[in-house]
Structure 1
């Protein structure tokens, strides 16, 4: 159980201990938009119970900020509770979830001691059925909600949700507060700083930014994180230009985050280098 806290008029955020993930509700006269659905059907049933306890209305639509299972595996249970509501995501996020959802389930199948194993294995993956490539507006009657794909970063299919009438942006895992930004095997470390520049273009000095994980933040926090993510990208570019192999890169520079968390940032960064910036050896 988690409490939905109102961070702006008719925008509520609940923070769940598993992954410290945020689930957000945006209210309008047509009902509630649920942004991200948690990591399993069982976890999402808890979310549904918390939504009903809030008593602000019925869910009429779902948005997935990216494909990762801690944000999408609850889609099944939300539809079980509210019927065939549309599930909206960037087209790349839908493609990745369809392609890689079973990989996640297999990873849990191979982890018998994980306390969430059975819940994940009992979950049916529901792929978003309402997709877009660049931007989309969802109509909640008396409120328009804007979805923007800022570019590749945490994944290929990230989106951010802007509620312009109250100056709120739901950033998904483009921004993280309770841990350093997560560079996974599907990240785009060289593009991520530029994607955050787009996110910053949606913010004012008074914006409330809800990260994918952790407490709401402000524009200054996003600016700082953008600069740190930018330094990761710049280090990769500089090291590659000097011919430093990827295998030696983490020991060859000062990093803004724990180097143990940046293995995929370096590997993926070297993979994505512009052709003219590659120097041998890079292995």
Structure 2
């Protein structure tokens, strides 16, 4: 098993690194065709750029786990059409029915496709905080944004809540596959959820882990909590393959650098700026040049600096 995982990971590292291609899979609304990241575990790797008409909002990873007793899908998708397209790809891989959808957070690109899955009668699981975030803010805002950029590809999409929520963890036995749905702790956004396959040592990590794409930091995000959750809860799992929320499947060292490495560096720079008497206006210009290689650097670097300044100013 370990040899198979190592081979799969090496192939992904060589073939699926992010680029600026507007659409890698023109015959589908999906940005790219699902790839097998580990035996029985597939992910349609989304664009690592912001949502656009060309990528139809598929700018996160839509994953699925094939078991001997059904399929578990991780992420509802950003729209009815994306969820439908993913379902079509699943049907090319297996005759097993989809029996569960797991939302990895409350953002639109995780939950707006719930409308399709609910219409198929599939149960949908999410963390209680993610469900609340989707209902109160992310769902309505995300749907309006989807209609604006996706145009006809937003057709059919409505706001549909998860059918079940959990608090800390939920263990699922699906055929011969153990699936642990976890909320390891505060990280990127309310109710961040990780899907852990302990027997395969595969973690579908969601937005607690970044590598190719710069982590977005929201108002209300606790970056020190995010670092602690990553180091004390995620790392001890011992995952050998990690599917981050955005970008190709990779290993622990890579997502540690892209996540904790970035957060610690930004906090150190902002902390020094504050100690020198710097203000918010100056915080936007702290040196983040070491991270220019990450996708969405131009969109996020200065915003992140401002948010972290506000967070740290009174720590």
Normalised by the length of structure 1, the TM-score is 0.84
Q: Paired residue for 1:280? A: none
**Aligned match of 2:256 in 208, 216, 223?**
223
Is the alpha carbon distance of 1:250 and 1:130 closer, same or farther for their aligned partners in structure 2, counting shifts above 3 Å?
A: same
**Residue aligned with 1:191, SS:** helix
**Residue aligned with 1:175, SS:** coil
1 CA distance for matches of 2:166 and 2:254?
28
The CA deviation at 1:16 is 4.1
Q: Paired residue for 1:106? A: 144
2 CA distance for matches of 1:122 and 1:214?
27
Q: Paired residue for 1:5? A: 35
Contact 2:283–2:306, Cα closer than 8 Å, also in 1: no
Q: Paired residue for 1:125? A: 159
The CA deviation at 1:165 is 0.7
**Residue aligned with 1:57, SS:** coil
Q: Describe the superposition over 1:20-43 as per-residue Cα deviations: whole angstroms up to 9, x where unpaired.
A: 422111122321110012211111
Contact 1:21–1:213, Cα closer than 8 Å, also in 2: yes
**Is 1:148 matched up with 2:182?**
yes
Q: Paired residue for 2:131? A: 94
**Aligned match of 1:160 in 162, 176, 194?**
194
Contact 1:48–1:78, Cα closer than 8 Å, also in 2: no
Contact 1:65–1:159, Cα closer than 8 Å, also in 2: yes
Aligned length: 268
Cα RMSD (Å):
2.3
Is the alpha carbon distance of 1:273 and 1:160 closer, same or farther for their aligned partners in structure 2, counting shifts above 3 Å?
A: same
Is the alpha carbon distance of 1:128 and 1:234 closer, same or farther for their aligned partners in structure 2, counting shifts above 3 Å?
A: farther
The CA deviation at 1:91 is 1.2
The CA deviation at 1:131 is 1.6
Q: Describe the superposition over 1:129-162 as per-residue Cα deviations: whole angstroms up to 9, x where unpaired.
A: 3222222212213222112212222212211111
**Aligned match of 2:243 in 187, 190, 210?**
210
Is the alpha carbon distance of 1:267 and 1:190 closer, same or farther for their aligned partners in structure 2, counting shifts above 3 Å?
A: farther
Residue segments in structure 1 that go unaligned for 5+ positions in a row: 278-283
Q: Describe the superposition over 1:149-206 as per-residue Cα deviations: whole angstroms up to 9, x where unpaired.
A: 12222212211111011110001122234422223446433322222212222124xx
**Residue aligned with 2:61, SS:** strand
Q: Paired residue for 2:235? A: 200
Q: Describe the superposition over 1:230-258 as per-residue Cα deviations: whole angstroms up to 9, x where unpaired.
A: 21233333333443212211224446434
Residue segments in structure 2 that go unaligned for 5+ positions in a row: 1-27, 48-54
